[in-house]
Amino acid sequence: MESYLWIIPFSPLIGAAINGALAILYSHKEKGPREEIISFIGCAAPLASFVIALMIFIRMIGMDEADRILEQTLFPWIWSGALNIEVAFFVDALSMVMVLVVTCVGTIIHFYSIGYMAKDRGFARYFSYLNLFMFAMLTLVMGKNLPLLFVGWEGVGLCSYLLIGFWYSDIYKAAAGKKAFIVNRIGDFAFLLGIFVVYVATLEHGAGTLDFPALSGLVAAHPEAFRGVATAAGILLFIGACGKSAQIPLYVWLPDAMAGPTPVSALIHAATMVTAGVYMIARLSFLYALSPLAMGVVATVGALTALYAATIGICQRDIKKVLAYSTISQLGYMFMAVGVGAFSAGIFHLMTHAFFKACLFLGAGSVIHALRGEQDMFNMGGLSKYMKLTALTFLIASFAIAGVPPLAGFFSKDEILWSTFTSSLSPGWLPMVLWVVTFIAAGITAFYVFRAVFLTFYGKKRLTAEAEAHVHESPSVMTVPLILLAIGSITAGFLGVPQVLGGSNAFHHFLSPAVGAAEHVTHAVQGAGDSVQAIGAAAHAAKEAAAGGVQLSSYTGEVLSEAGGGSHGGSHGLEILLMVLSVLIGIAGILVAQAMYIRNPTLPESISRRARGLYNLVYGKYFVDEAYRETLVKPGYFLSEKVFFKVIDVWIIDGIVNGFGVMARGFGTVLRLLQTGVVRTYALFILLGILYLIYRMVG
Amino acid sequence: MITLDHYLYLSAILFFIGVFGVLFRRNLIVILMSIELMLNAVNLSFIAFSRYTASMDGHVFAFFVMAVAAAEAGIGLAILVMLFRNRRTVQADDLTLMRD
């Protein structure tokens, strides 16, 4: 089974190559290639990956917990001195979850795209890009070493750029693509520096390696030595994750990325690519666990982003923008989870979020498709009469994201909140503050999502005449994916029912071989506080936990789940209380939305009129884009034009190049005087030369 | 008694007559003839040395030089003919194409 691993990423690559070739072949013809052929190739490729991933998953379940690691080395990539990097795939429990989410949601969205992109001139190009994205994303989650992860990381960035600017003849969409690419580049620079830091550190402590298993072993062997490295590399890599996963301060590209086709927003900018940062931190959990500072930064940025983006979501008019800010906010939850050391909770939320957010986006896409491109929610309303299936699935996904039990979002969000509340982050007040911030954000989330639901599907109809004429339920190739994702939004949560509700938290248990040891280490290190002795003890625990690695992990799950109840300072009673609170705030958010947009539709306007300044601030997205433009983009332009172009390029670079030309011409002018063209003159020079040589030889 | 020195002096005189012919005459035909003179001056010294050292090597070189001189004269005159056809002149100073 291990030898089939390579097919998972390469199957979409082949699909991308075929469809790309077809797109190029037909680029000058009047009609594109037949859509049936394109969509067959485009959907079969990720479907094959999904089937093989499922087979590998079934095989993995049957294995002993300690041995649940599959590896396949394809070929050496970089062999240079101490640096040996192979193209190798590595699937453990963590990668397995990611591969399943990516291929499952990805395949569903590929099928949906057949309907959404029908009759588009770039049909073949679209599927080629989408398949290429699958290849890059699967390389990212299956790569055995950091450079291979980085290849996938850049690859998904490229595909994101290509797909945001898919309709490139629209200048604003092309610009949105560029913005995404450039903002990501800032993060990627720090990410690359992070990789270098890790590599240099490994060189100092034995062999230089970037392979995850070897790295994990090395860090476990020298936990004290790697503490400083963990902070530096952890924060640098997290800056990269901020770019890719749209966290403060690099989130600004994601709302603009909604310019792409809606299935792209669902797949890349909600379910998979933007979660790469969370995956990366979970993958390097053994390193992050050693640095309370890096973890604190991750958790704090995550919590702030969760609240911040949620507040912007309140005032957006564009249905896709609401979902975009919601994605940023939910990613914040995931980062907070991994930041407090609850890696499996973060990945759990990643998975459930992939289902319900993809469902929301595809539902929004279905509405936009039906209304011929209308995206303003204030031009919708009452659509549930026309689009029953879309409305129903959208509603289910909304309940899921609002955290209403027993839907998926309830279990995952609650696990994050509980892990945060009981975490041992220092200073001691931090877990409490983070909990309150994200608790409030949960209420706001429920409010803005149901604001979107009520504005779109219920209440008075506010359609434009053109949209009214076209409104219809989408074809089944679009509604069936919606139903599948809605089923996912309902059921995915049952994989991780916490013990306090009588579940066994199978998800957590499944992931514990991959991240369980790191969760243990996090608590040990963070719990150690400042006392030197305690840090030593924590480091020892870290060493033991990580060195024991897999053997330990078989019972870590039990240890941790016991600890989750008792040793982290929480109790079952408290856990249930918090759970009830977060359900209540979710329901409160829904009721407020209902009061404002169904029962009393004039209320929002009177509120916004009364709090004009605040409304404008939030509606203008806190004017962060404008602030960036003034403080970063404009000085950047100024520097480029006035300094780099006018001075360095024109004077120095051009000066050097032109200088060589002028110099050559000067020499030529002088030497040309010798060229008379008269043969006899040359003969005379030859004679003089010979005489001189004879003189030297004789004299 | 005519010694080797005499031959060499004669050879040198002939050679420099050839050199001055090449340098100072303008007619290309005369220049070609001067080159022949230089080559024959060299031949003379080869033969003289050959005789003096009682070795046949000089003869061999002399034959080579004669063959080369014949080829050179043939090609040179052919070029001259073509030049005259195209430019209506065989004056070396009129032919300054290499500069222009």
Are A679 and B92 within 8 A, CB to CB? yes
Q: What is the pLDDT of residue B74?
A: 94
Sign of the Cα torsion A310, A312, A317, A322 reads negative
Q: Which residues of A touch B92 (CB under 8 A)?
A: 678-680
Please tell me which of the candidates A676, A677, A687 has its beta carbon nearest to residue B23: A687
Residue A231 has a pLDDT of 92
List the beta bridge partners of residue A72.
Answer: A89
**A and B: number of Cβ contacts within 8 A:** 28
Q: Which residue has the tokens 């109840």?
A: A565
User: How distant, in Å, are the alpha carbons of A382, A390, A424, A458 from that of A386?
Assistant: 8, 9, 51, 11
Candidate from B92, B99, B100 with C-beta closest to A680? B92
Cα of B58 to nearest chain A Cα, Å: 22
Residue of B23, B31, B97 lying closest to A677 (CB–CB): B97
Residue A490: predicted pLDDT: 92
Which chain B residue's Cα is nearest to A672?
B99
**Contact B23/A683, CB-based, under 8 Å?**
yes
Residue A548 has a pLDDT of: 46
Residue-level pLDDT at A126: 94
Question: Inter-chain contact A678–B96, Cβ cutoff 8 Å?
Answer: yes
Strand positions, DSSP E, A82-196: 83-91
Q: Which residue of A has its CA nearest to B20?
A: A684
| Chain B residues touching residue A678 (CB < 8 angstroms) | 92-93, 96
Residues 6+ apart with CB under 8 A from A189: none
Which residues in chain A come in under a pLDDT of 50?
Answer: 530-533, 547-569
Q: Which of A678, A683, A687 lies nearest to residue B93, judging by beta carbons?
A: A678
Residue of chain A nearest B96, judged by CA positions = A677
Chain B nearest-CA distance from A659, in A, is: 26
pLDDT at residue A53, rounded to an integer: 94
What is the CB-side half-sphere exposure of residue A472 using CA atoms within 13 A? 8
Give contacts of A677 with chain B, Cβ < 8 Å: 95-100
Set of chain A residues whose Cβ sits within 8 Å of the Cβ of B93: 678, 680
Query: Least CB-CB distance to A676: which of B19, B23, B96?
Result: B96
Look at the alpha carbons of A28, A29, A32, A37 in this order and tell me if their dihedral is positive or negative: negative
Smallest CA–CA distance from B24 into chain A, residue: A680
Question: A59: which residues sit within 8 A by CB, 6+ positions away?
Answer: A1
Residue from B19, B26, B13 nearest A687 by CA:
B19
Contacts of A684 in chain B (CB under 8 A): 23
Shortest Cα distance from B27 to chain A (angstroms)? 11
Which of chain B's residues have a Cβ under 8 Å away from the Cβ of A676?
96, 99
Q: What is the CATH number of domain B4-95?
A: 1.10.287.3510
Give the type of residue at A353.
H
> In chain B, whose CA is at the least distance from the CA of A674?
B99
According to the model, what pLDDT value does residue A145 have?
92
Rounded to the nearest 10 degrees, what angle do helices A430-457 and A343-370 cross at?
Answer: 20
The pTM of the full predicted model, rounded to 2 decimals, is 0.80
Contact criterion met (CB below 8 Å) for A180 and A158: no
Residue appearing with tokens 């696990």: A415
| A677 contacts B96? CB cut-off 8 A | yes
State both tokens at A517: 């040891």
Residue A352 vs residues A261, A411, A494: alpha-carbon distances, Å? 23, 9, 10
Based on the number of CB atoms within 10 Å of its own CB, is A361 exposed (0-12), middle (13-18) or buried (19 or more)? buried
pLDDT of A470: 80
Report residue A535: phi and psi, to 5°.
Answer: -65, -40
Question: What is residue A566's predicted lDDT score, i.e. its pLDDT?
Answer: 38
- Give chain A's radius of gyration (CA, Å): 30
Reply yes or no: is the peptide bond before residue A213 cis, omega within 30 of 0.
Answer: no
Q: What is the pLDDT of residue A568?
A: 46
**Chain B residues near any Cβ of chain A (below 8 Å):** 19, 22-24, 26, 31, 92-93, 95-100
Domain boundaries, chain B: 4-95
Q: Which two tokens stand for residue A56?
A: 């590998």
Which of B22, B93, B95 has its CB closest to that of A683? B22
Instruction: Determine the Cα–Cα distance for residues A137 and A163; give it in Å rounded to an integer.
Output: 14
Assign 3-class secondary structure to A413-437: HHHHHHHHHCCCCCCCCHHHHHHHH
Q: Measure CB to CB from residue A677 to each of B23, B31, B100 and give the nearest one.
A: B100
pLDDT digits (tens, 9 = 90+) for B70-98: 999 999 999 999 999 998 888 888 887 76
Closest chain A CA to residue B22: A680
Q: B90 CA to chain A: closest CA distance, Å?
A: 12
State the smallest CA–CA distance between residue B4 and chain A in angstroms.
21
Torsion of CA B21, B23, B26, B27, to 10 degrees: 40
Distance from CA of A671 to the nearest CA of B (A): 12
Taking an 8 Å cut-off on Cβ atoms, the answer to whether A680 and B97 are in contact is no
Closest CA to A89 of A65, A104, A70, A103: A70
Q: Do A675 and B99 touch (CB under 8 A)?
A: yes
Rounded to a whole number of angstroms, the CA Rg of chain B reads 17
Half-sphere exposure of A380 (CA within 13 A, CB side): 31
Q: How far is A20 from chain B (nearest CA, A)?
A: 56
* Predicted pLDDT at A510: 86
Nearest CA in chain A to B95: A678
Instruction: With beta carbons under 8 A apart, name residues in chain A contacting B19.
Output: 687
Closest chain B residue to A679 measured between Cα atoms?
B92
Searching chain A, which residue's CA lies closest to the CA of residue B23?
A680
Taking the CA of residue B26 and the nearest CA in chain A, the distance in Å comes to 8
- Are A675 and B100 a contacting pair at CB < 8 A? no
Range A559-566 contact pairs with CB under 8 angstroms and sequence separation of 24 or more:
A559/A520, A560/A508, A560/A512, A560/A516, A560/A519, A560/A520, A561/A499, A561/A505, A561/A508, A561/A509, A563/A523, A564/A418, A564/A419, A564/A422, A564/A498, A564/A499, A565/A499, A565/A500
